[in-house]
Amino acid sequence: MKDIAQGYMTEDGRQIGAVLMELKNITLKFGGVQAITNASFDIREGEIRAIIGPNGAGKSSMLNVINGFYHPQEGEVWFHGKKRPSMPPSEIARQGIARTFQNIALFHGMTTVENVMTGRQLMMKKNFFWQLLRVGPALEEETVHRRKCEEIIDFLEIQAIRKTPVGSLPYGLQKRVELARALAMEPKLLLLDEPMAGMNVEEKEDMSRFILDVNDQYGTTIALIEHDMSVVMDLADRVVVLDYGKMLADGTPDEVQKNQAVIDAYLGVEN
Amino acid sequence: MGSFIYSVLGDPFVQMLQMPDFLMQVVWEGFVSGILYALIALGFVLIFKASGIFNFAQGIMVVFSGLTLVGLHELGVPAFLALFITLGVMYVLAFSVERLVLRNLVNQPDIILFMATIGLTNILIGLGQWIFGGETKSMITEQLWLPTGSSVWEPGGGLVIFQHIDIAAAVIAALLIICLALFFSKTKVGRALRAVADDHQASLSVGISLNHIWVITWFAAGIVALVAGIMWGARSDVSFSLQIIALKALPVLVLGGFTSVPGAIVGGLIIGIGEKLFEIYWGPLFGSGIEGWFAYVIALIFLLFRPQGLFGEKIIERV
Amino acid sequence: MFYRESGQFKSSYKEDMQAFPIREDKIGIAVWLLLAYLYVPFFGLPGLEYGFALNAIMIPVLIFTITTIGLNILVGYTGQISLGTAAFMGVGAYSCYKLTSYFPDVNIIILIFSSGFFAAAVGALFGLPSLRIKGFYLVVATLAAQFFLEWCFIRIGWLYNFNPSGAIEVPQREAFGFIVTGAAAEPVTRYLVVLTILIFLTIIAGNLVRGRIGRSWMMIRDMDIAAELIGVRPLTTKLSAFAVSSYYCGVSGALMVFMWLGAAEVESFDVNHSFLYLFMVILGGLGSITGSYMGAAFIWTFPLVLKEIGKVFEINPTVMENVSLVAIGVMIVFILIKEPHGLARLWQLGKQKLRIWPFPH
């Protein structure tokens, strides 16, 4: 493994910075079930970090720990160089962590643009009384954020479905709207839970391109879970491999691919 | 201030100790109404388990079935034939609810289904008043060979009165619960029902007809409602205000958990006995009529500490 | 003149974010407003006796529209079921009564608006459990509010100034030099006051639901977990919905007693009324302000129409009452099956058809 104490340079020449988030010895249990056992890894600024592993490996649970939906029984989460106390997920979102979901979690009663606007909620500050008047500063604020959302909508090429209720959109587009919503939050850390699940090759290519563009243009740090190995190997700078809640390996895609424990976990061990 | 604390924490207990026979009387009456609450709650639980529907109409089904029975008898139908026809009516109701409502609302959000049952409540109120009139009727207790009169028990010079109908209500409710338990654990339909309660998709895939199961559970809930209607009607009378009382099954469910049969029974007894005790011993402090809201407020406080109910399972949320 | 949006280009986001972006809709609203302010006050409703049109139809419908908008904010926009609406209206009514007893010289309209705040506070208090409990459990919490408050309205004599009848009787009050409450108040004055308050509250509700706060409500409704992971605080969001909703109910409750009934007892605020308001919301359309108007108007006038039909055919009025109960129940079930977004959605579909007419593909 490369020496990455001070950040590193990726193969395509992007500079990866200091540690943004560090997970130390995370253990998560549900009743008697051990979902994650003593997992530790870090996520660096500007990096695309993949978490892979077979079904039930604890990948989604890991994302849920990162954004505070689950509270691990043991271990610490460090964010921006500070230990993060246990807090509700809404507060963690306020610190700049956004995510998408494995089973799309859009607001089905709203249109695309409204869904994207929900990503701006935290940045809208005008109080209740301005809101009910909806003139002057409140309307100005709404307009400013609307403009920002339209930029993101342009960026992800979903202009045409701007005013369509999201419930009626095809699956691939819903995934894209969800990404748009997460981007609208201008997160420091973006978590993507299987962004390409259930997509065809073409859609996967589109989505990969968007993920790379997001990382490139906005400098967003991304942690993603994905099953498609070729996608992971193309996108990710570093990969964590989980199996039955335990860490199997952590390193660059090449290193991980050559790791014997990983090969065993994926292909089975011959006795 | 001191005297107020005494009147809350001291005096009621002193009264209980001074007149233990009266306390027993209060507890007994609370017990019987608790059993009936439990019976109504049981109807909710059956439907909730089988279809995930929170059937708001369960309360009006109690009234409607009682009213049908009495109304038929008033029209000159012999009591037991009327009982039989009422059962038929409840079956037709279950069948039409499934065919006309449930079948068309499959996969809708719970809130929509719930509101549909409120609509159903309205229909049943309207139909009941339309056909049988809105006035209060008395239950045909004797014609159904249910006991009347009372026995007196004098423990140590005290006096406790047991209405025979109350005893009968307790016994019949207990029998009904046992029968249902046997039905659901021993029969093929019962097993199918539990499968459906566990997982709709999985049970569909092993060839269980959801529609059939729904008719059966709604019919079972109808029978439970009829029994509750007869018993409650015999203790007071059959009127539409019973529907409001039947709503007390909701706090019972909150205590017991929506899917637990033992929970419904324990919850019913807690609410029944609790509200009687509170009304009698603490009621004078607040002005009477506490029975109207006591159950709800207890349920509300309980919810804050144990949202899944006494016997419900803790829900792990997933995303 | 066609209902068309082609050719109407929006050149700024502000224009695109208007309540009625299509020109024909604006004209339609203007016509309604003209009718409401210039026709109805002078002529009532066509074909009906003037006093009846105002007292028995227009005034109650407008008041219930406020209730329905309020309840819709909670049920339709935030997805929290409430069966305590009537009791929250009662809080508004009794507060207004107490306020005007203490401050007889203050403009009654200010007091009506103030009484909404009491209802909002009580509503938020009973909304507190909504943080921990969801769905049907919340029904129990709101029923607790309903029955507890009903009990208060009977047992706390202070609320009705220890009036032996147990009722609150509306005293005569003036505003801007006109008598607006009490027996001497003209129907047309009361109508105009209620109409103006309704329009004011409609605009506010429309603003709220289109902005940040409305979106946070809808986020909680559509997927509360995702909303939380985006940073919406469930407690403040749900409580704000309860408070705003109850404010509307409170104001409408005060209006109901002061501008319409003239006197009220606890029966005006019982649980059956709570169901009635829920029906108005469902039938009109969950999550639609236009629908709230339609729902309130329909549920209120439908039994009256049936009664008239009954008179023509000489049917017993109680029979017609029961028929209307059944019919409304059937309509609720039907609308939930066919179009969960109610009359408002049907209206929208109609407009959509018109928009693409005559080439529907």
| Alpha-carbon distance A172 to nearest alpha carbon in chain C (angstroms) | 19
Interface-testing mutation among C212, C218, C237, with chain A (most A C-beta atoms within 10 A): C212
Q: Is B310 within 8 Å of B263 (Cβ atoms)? A: yes
If 0-12 CB within 10 Å is exposed, 13-18 middle and 19+ buried, where does residue C338 land? exposed
A107 and C226 within 8 Å at the Cβ level: the answer is yes
How confident is the model at residue C1, as a pLDDT? 46
C140 and B254 within 8 Å at the Cβ level: the answer is yes
In angstroms, the Cα distances linking A175 to A16, A97, A198, C244 are 27, 18, 10, 34
C-alpha A218/C-alpha A213 separation (Å) is 8
How confident is the model at residue C278, as a pLDDT? 94
| Alpha-carbon distance A192 to nearest alpha carbon in chain C (angstroms) | 13
How confident is the model at residue C36, as a pLDDT? 93
C-alpha A37/C-alpha B115 separation (Å) is 45
Q: Is C309 within 8 Å of C320 (Cβ atoms)? A: yes
| Alpha-carbon distance A23 to nearest alpha carbon in chain B (angstroms) | 21
Indicate the CATH number for domain A1-96+187-271: 3.40.50.300
B299 touches chain C (CB under 8 A): yes
Q: Which residues of C touch A (CB under 8 A)?
A: 12-14, 17, 204, 207-208, 210-213, 215-216, 218-219, 221-223, 225-234, 240, 287
3 state DSSP class of A76: strand
How confident is the model at residue C202, as a pLDDT? 96
Q: Which residue of B has its CA nearest to C341?
A: B112
pLDDT digits (tens, 9 = 90+) for B295-308: 888 888 887 777 77
CB neighbourhood size of B110 (10 A) = 14
C-alpha B58/C-alpha B249 separation (Å) is 9
**What stretches of chain C adopt beta strand conformation (E)?**
168-169, 173-175, 178-181, 263-264
C226 and A90 within 8 Å at the Cβ level: the answer is no
C212 touches chain B (CB under 8 A): no
C-alpha C213/C-alpha A126 separation (Å) is 10
C144 and B300 within 8 Å at the Cβ level: the answer is yes
Q: Which of A19-28, A256-265, B84-93, B271-280 has the lowest mean pLDDT?
A: A256-265
User: Helix axis angle, C59-72 relative to C234-255, nearest 10°?
Assistant: 170
**Confidence band, pLDDT 50/70/90 cuts, at residue A3:** very low
Specify which residues B163 forms β-bridges with: B150
C-alpha C72/C-alpha C280 separation (Å) is 9
What 8-state DSSP symbol labels residue A81? T
Q: Which residue of B has its CA nearest to C323?
A: B126
Q: Which chain C residues are closer than 8 Å to A119 by Cβ?
A: 230
Which tokens hold the place of A265? 């976990």
Interface-testing mutation among C72, C131, C138, C139, with chain B (most B C-beta atoms within 10 A): C139
Q: Which chain A residues are closer than 8 Å to B316 by Cβ?
A: 30
Question: What are the extents of the domains in chain B?
Answer: 25-305
Contacts of C54 (CB under 8 A, 6+ apart): C40, C44, C187, C188, C190, C191
A188 touches chain C (CB under 8 A): no
| Alpha-carbon distance A135 to nearest alpha carbon in chain B (angstroms) | 35
Longest dimension (CA), chain B: 68
C-alpha A93/C-alpha C8 separation (Å) is 39
Q: Is C249 within 8 Å of C123 (Cβ atoms)? A: yes
Sheet strands side by side (includes A189-193): A97-99, A189-193, A221-225, A48-52, A238-243, A246-251
What does residue C339 show for φ and ψ, rounded to 5 degrees? Answer: -155, 85
Cα A268 → chain centroid = 29
B122 and C139 within 8 Å at the Cβ level: the answer is no
Per-chain mean pLDDT for chain A:
87
Residue identified by tokens 């207890």 is B298
Q: Which residue of C has its CA nearest to A147?
A: C13
In angstroms, the Cα distances linking C56 to C60, C61, C249, C256 are 7, 8, 20, 12
Question: What are the extents of the domains in chain A?
Answer: 1-96+187-271, 106-186
| Alpha-carbon distance C69 to nearest alpha carbon in chain A (angstroms) | 15
Give chain B as a DSSP string.
Answer: -HHHHHHHHTHHHHHHHH-HHHHHHHHHHHHHHHHHHHHHHHHHHHHHHHH----TTHHHHHHHHHHHHHHHHHTT--HHHHHHHHHHHHHHHHHHIIIIIGGGGTT--HHHHHHHHHHHHHHHHHHHHHHH-SS-B---TGGGT---SEEEE-GGG--EEEEHHHHHHHHHHHHHHHHHHHHHHHSHHHHHHHHHHH-HHHHHHTT--HHHHHHHHHHHHHHHHHHHHHHHHHHS-B-TTHHHHHTTHHHHHHHH-TT-HHHHHHHHHHHHHHHHHIIIIIHHHH-S-THHHHHHHHHHHHHHH-TT-SSPPPPPP--
Strands A48-52 and A221-225, bridge-based pairing: parallel
Q: Which residue of B has its CA nearest to C324?
A: B126
B319 and A30 within 8 Å at the Cβ level: the answer is no
C-alpha B207/C-alpha A41 separation (Å) is 47
Closest Cβ–Cβ partner in C13, C213, C230 for A119: C230
Positions in chain C short of pLDDT 50:
1
Nearest to B271 by CA among B244, B236, B242, B302: B302
Q: Which chain C residues are closer than 8 Å to A168 by Cβ?
A: none
C-alpha B224/C-alpha B268 separation (Å) is 15
B37 touches chain C (CB under 8 A): no
3 state DSSP class of A237: coil
User: Helix axis angle, B20-51 relative to B58-74, nearest 10°?
Assistant: 100
Secondary structure element (H or E) that encloses residue A212, with its range: helix A201-218
How confident is the model at residue A48, as a pLDDT? 92
Write the class of the CATH domain C48-356.
mainly alpha
Task: Express as a percent the part of chain A with pLDDT over 90.
Answer: 31
- Enumerate neighbours of B (3 or more CB pairs within 8 A): A, C
Put simply, the chain A residues between 134 and 173 with a CB less than 8 A from any chain C CB are 134, 138-139, 142-143, 146-147, 150
Nearest to A185 by CA among A152, A217, A208, A163: A152
How confident is the model at residue C254, as a pLDDT? 96
- Does residue B127 register a pLDDT over 60? yes
C-alpha A12/C-alpha A216 separation (Å) is 11
B319 and A101 within 8 Å at the Cβ level: the answer is yes
Which tokens hold the place of B26? 């209060």
Put simply, the chain A residues between 4 and 63 with a CB less than 8 A from any chain C CB are none
Task: Express as a percent the part of chain A with pLDDT over 70.
Answer: 96
C-alpha B303/C-alpha C133 separation (Å) is 7
C-alpha A116/C-alpha A139 separation (Å) is 17
Indicate the CATH number for domain B25-305: 1.10.3470
What does residue C356 show for φ and ψ, rounded to 5 degrees? Answer: -100, 0
Nearest to B170 by CA among B213, B114, B231: B231
Specify which residues A44 forms β-bridges with: A19
User: Helix axis angle, B20-51 relative to B249-256, nearest 10°?
Assistant: 80
C-alpha A177/C-alpha B10 separation (Å) is 63
Supply angle C-alpha B263, B265, B269, rounded to 5.
115
pLDDT digits (tens, 9 = 90+) for A47-102: 999 998 888 788 888 999 998 888 999 999 999 888 998 888 888 888 889 999 88
Q: Is B208 or C309 the better-scoring residue by pLDDT? A: C309
Cα B199 → chain centroid = 26
Interface-testing mutation among A30, A66, A67, A70, with chain B (most B C-beta atoms within 10 A): A70
B319 and A102 within 8 Å at the Cβ level: the answer is yes
A114 touches chain C (CB under 8 A): yes
Contacts of B106 (CB under 8 A, 6+ apart): none
Q: Is A145 within 8 Å of A117 (Cβ atoms)? A: yes
Contacts of C125 (CB under 8 A, 6+ apart): none
ipTM associated with this complex: 0.87
Interface-testing mutation among B122, B248, B253, B279, with chain C (most C C-beta atoms within 10 A): B122
Q: Which chain B residues are closer than 8 Å to C135 by Cβ?
A: 54, 110-111, 114
Q: Which residue of C has its CA nearest to B287?
A: C155
Q: How many CA atoms lie within 13 A of C274 on its CB side?
A: 27
A142 and C240 within 8 Å at the Cβ level: the answer is no
| Alpha-carbon distance A101 to nearest alpha carbon in chain B (angstroms) | 7
Specify which residues A83 forms β-bridges with: A78
Question: What are the extents of the domains in chain C?
Answer: 48-356
Q: Is C35 within 8 Å of C58 (Cβ atoms)? A: no
Q: How many interchain CB pairs under 8 A, A with B?
A: 9
C218 and A108 within 8 Å at the Cβ level: the answer is no
Asked whether the bond before C358 is cis by omega within 30 degrees of 0, the reply is yes
Measured torsion, CA atoms of residues A90, A92, A94, A96, in degrees rounded to the nearest 10: -140
Interface-testing mutation among A69, A134, A144, A178, with chain C (most C C-beta atoms within 10 A): A134
